[in-house]
Amino acid sequence: TARPRDVSSLTQVTIGGSACPPSLMQAFDKLGMRVCHAWGMTETSPLGTVARPPAHAAGTDEEFGYRLTQGRFPAGVEARLTGPGGERLPWDGGSAGELEVRGPWIAGAYYNGPDAEPLRPADKFSEDGWLKTGDVGTISPDGFLTLTDRAKDVIKSGGEWISSVDLENALMSHPDVAEAAVVAVPDDKWGERPLATVVLKEGAGVGFEALRDFLAEEGRIAKWQLPERWTIIESVPKTSVGKFDKKVLRRQYAEGELDVTEF
């Protein structure tokens, strides 16, 4: 590398702020550092899941797939998935809904609400006491959680959901892409469609059509989910804790600050 360091004592990196792109996880593996996914919130005090592959998957092709999930819920944390219409969804690894959790150390209200009473806003807590996490994902039959997006960032296109995170991870696996963020933008026909904002590596000159073809290769992304709108940016705006600040990108698009190519 350009700046070699002795990292022999670092054997594991736990990532829980947001999902680690598979390409980055594989890069850590090459350095002898194993990435362990975890998920949680302040309201979960904070542990929600840990991605420890089951023993039967050790050394098999399945192991990496388990590591890409957010993991299993520890004893004491109950979980369920709720669809857009309030319906309860099965743990089948394919039905995506908003994750709700509850348990003895899971918040059931916010302190110092109106009139100094605990506050339970409807957008954060269900009527029966479950915490609405704002995260959208699936749960496999053996209890492994895979988060696909934040509820506010899911792209609702023609009555179907498109995961911005899946698009971002696929784009960031391209060798010429340093970072990528995908946001929903208004569309007259479909309601919303994805806008891909891309940060290229220094000296890279890959075009938008080549990136779109890359996403379509080998079934990485379904054809109907491929972005029609693209833009190059210098860097992805981030929050104070380093997460992608997508509201800034949505505002920049709405105000015409981005040079967007559509095809």
Is 52's pLDDT higher than 80? Answer: yes
Of the candidates 45, 146, 158, 49, the one whose C-alpha atom is nearest the C-alpha of residue 104 is 45
For residue 242, what pLDDT band results from cuts at 50, 70 and 90? confident
Which single residue is written with the structure tokens 């957010």? 70
More confident residue, 4 or 100: 100
**Residue 43, phi then psi, degrees to nearest 5:** -70, -15
Per-residue pLDDT reduced to its tens digit, 76-120: 999 999 988 889 999 999 999 999 999 999 999 888 766 657 788
pLDDT in tens, 142-200: 999 999 899 899 999 998 889 999 999 999 999 999 999 999 999 999 999 999 999 99
Q: Are 93 and 138 in contact (CB under 8 A)?
A: yes
- Please name the residues in contact with 143: beta carbons below 8 A apart, sequence gap of 6 or more: 72, 73, 91
Residue 219: the pLDDT is 85
Between 230 and 219, the higher pLDDT residue: 230
Q: Is the pLDDT reported for residue 59 higher than 90?
A: yes
Instruction: Please give the backbone phi and psi of residue 11, each rounded to the nearest 5 degrees, phi first.
Output: -105, -20
**Higher per-residue pLDDT: 115 or 219:** 219
Helix (H, G, I), strand (E, B) or coil at 144: strand
pLDDT of amino acid 25: 94
Domains defined for the chain, CATH in brackets? 8-148 (3.40.50.12780), 155-254 (3.30.300.30)
Phi-psi region of 85 (alpha: psi -120 to 50; beta: other; left: phi over 0): alpha
**pLDDT reported for residue 126:** 92
Average model confidence (pLDDT) for the chain? 93
